Amino acid sequence: MALQAVTVPDIGDFKEVPILEILVKPGDPITVDQSIITLESDKATMEIPSSHAGIVQDIKVAVGDKVSVGSVILILDTTTEILTSPSVVEPVKITPAPLPSSTSTPIASSSSDSSRTAPAVAPSIMADLRRPKNLPPPPLQSIADQPFTKPHAGPAVRHLARELGVDLARVKGSGRHSRILKADVHNFVKQVMNEGSVPGLAIPLTGGGMGIPEIPAIDFSKFGDIEIRPLSRIQKLAGASLHRSWLNIPHVTQFDEADITELEQFRRDLAAEGERRQVKVTLLSLLLKACAAALKEFPTFNASLDSSKENLILKKYYHLGVAVDTPDGLVVPVIKDVANQGLFELAAHLRDLSQKARDKKLSPHEMQGACFTISSLGGIGGTAFTPIINAPEVAILGVSRAQLQPVYQNGELVPRLILPLSLSYDHRVIDGALAARFTQYLRFILSDVRRLLL
């Protein structure tokens, strides 16, 4: 056996470059110039070719290892003939042809005879080679039975695929040694959009995604006068994110009602103090406080699923989003650390952020990091609605208009101010019973303002 170490060739000024991928495994026959590992520098990825042909005997590196010029990558058996029985199959010749630019170190040689038969060959290849020629080929596996091959792509392509929700295992690479290029990902998406099916797409890109038939285009002008108004940038952005949440999250909405008669009285009692401080405590500020308390009590609601969807990330902070209706569409500023803010401070933050939202002056920082969202339509009207969860959050509270209603109490009907609550939750994370307990808890603290202050 003739053994040959293949090392990292001259890669310019790069030193200690991490290995992103190993493209071969022990037993693989490889040719000169075949890519064997991928390195990832700060700016680019590069494939390192083999300086020799042969059968991979041993791989001396692992993904994540840092290598420089001269680092040994693998050991090859460069014996030229790898056949055992000439009567059964044709011999396969592998001709060593070192690259002038690469560095290589012969480390051992049991024989320098290049025509000797090599003992170690990948078992699957040997099985194919040894098959007598007059036998029929083995039965083909169905595509569904075949494992996906590990996609071969650099970090920029992987990043693009993640952004577009494309499963790289489904994409055919057109680069060297079937490496997947950005163009392949774009072509895959185009093909999916044209075909209206999504075999490798986790997130649909159009209204017709997830195999859902596209709504046919209709010329409405056939039926009467029309005007075309383009959607605002905010509507388009919010629309895409709402669509994604709607399709990805199994939503359930729990409806409930809270008696806020005392809470409203308390709010009115604060009016004079609010005037002095030049801030009005709105019902929404009190609801923010109540929700922060409920999130503390029910940590599953203050959480997100991780990307593997196997773990729940529980958050120890209480940042709450508030849906704000602006002339350009829905915007969700985030009020940070609600649990640690006093009522007047919270009311002032809510006022300032909703104003900024309407003036289009919110910074990205002011729209990030929410754990839970409140969408209040109480200032407008309605009795209930089914809000869409603001992923990756796992629940959202919809609030409708509070109304005076007759309630049977201690043997008589009394007028009470009743607030409708609509809690949408991600059923992968939250069970119906937990959701009902959550709204019951909200009812409990909203109906007794002293609890809210605890």
Residues of the shown chain interacting with ligand CAO in the complex, contacts defined by CB under 6 A = 282-284, 322-325, 330, 354, 375-379, 387, 399, 401-402, 419
Query: Hey, what amino acid is at 418?
Result: I
Least Å distance, CB 437 to ligand CAO, is 22
Nearer to ligand CAO by Cβ, of 185 and 397: the residue is 397
Nearer to ligand CAO by Cβ, of 6 and 402: the residue is 402
Least Å distance, CB 300 to ligand CAO, is 23
Q: DSSP letter string over 310-335?
A: S-EEE-SS--EEE-EEETTEEE--EE
User: How long is the chain?
Assistant: 454
Nearer to ligand CAO by Cβ, of 291 and 399: the residue is 399
Nearer to ligand CAO by Cβ, of 49 and 378: the residue is 378
Catalytic residue status for 349:
no
Q: Which residue has the tokens 């990558």?
A: 73
Going by C-alpha positions, the residue among 319, 332, 333 that lies closest to residue 370 is 319
Number of H helices and E strands in the chain, helices first, is: 10, 20
- Spell out where 60-142 has E strands: 66-67, 72-77, 104-109
CB atoms within 10 A of CB 165: 17
Distance (Å, rounded) from C-alpha 149 to C-alpha 147? 6
Nearer to ligand CAO by Cβ, of 8 and 324: the residue is 324
Least Å distance, CB 424 to ligand CAO, is 11
Chain Cα centroid distance, residue 380: 35
Least Å distance, CB 349 to ligand CAO, is 12
Kind and range of the H or E element at 231? none
Q: Which residues, 6+ apart, have CB-to-CB distance to 266 below 8 Å?
A: 286, 449
Q: Which residue has the tokens 């290049």?
A: 114
Least Å distance, CB 393 to ligand CAO, is 14
Least Å distance, CB 251 to ligand CAO, is 13
Nearer to ligand CAO by Cβ, of 94 and 284: the residue is 284
Cβ 356 vs Cβ 367: under 8 Å:
no
**Is the bond leading into 230 cis (omega within 30 degrees of zero)?**
no
> What are 376-383's contacts with CB under 8 Å, separation 24+?
376/283, 376/284, 376/287, 376/322, 376/323, 377/401, 378/283, 378/284, 378/402, 378/419, 382/420, 383/420
Least Å distance, CB 400 to ligand CAO, is 6
Distance (Å, rounded) from C-alpha 283 to C-alpha 274? 13
- Residue of this chain nearest to ligand CAO (CB atom): 378
Kindly state the tokens that stand for 29: 């026959």
Chain Cα centroid distance, residue 170: 17
Nearer to ligand CAO by Cβ, of 29 and 274: the residue is 274
Task: Please state whether beta strands 303-305 and 312-314 pair in parallel, antiparallel, or not at all (unpaired).
Answer: antiparallel
- 152, 177, 349, 427: the catalytic one is 427
Q: Which residues are catalytic?
A: 427
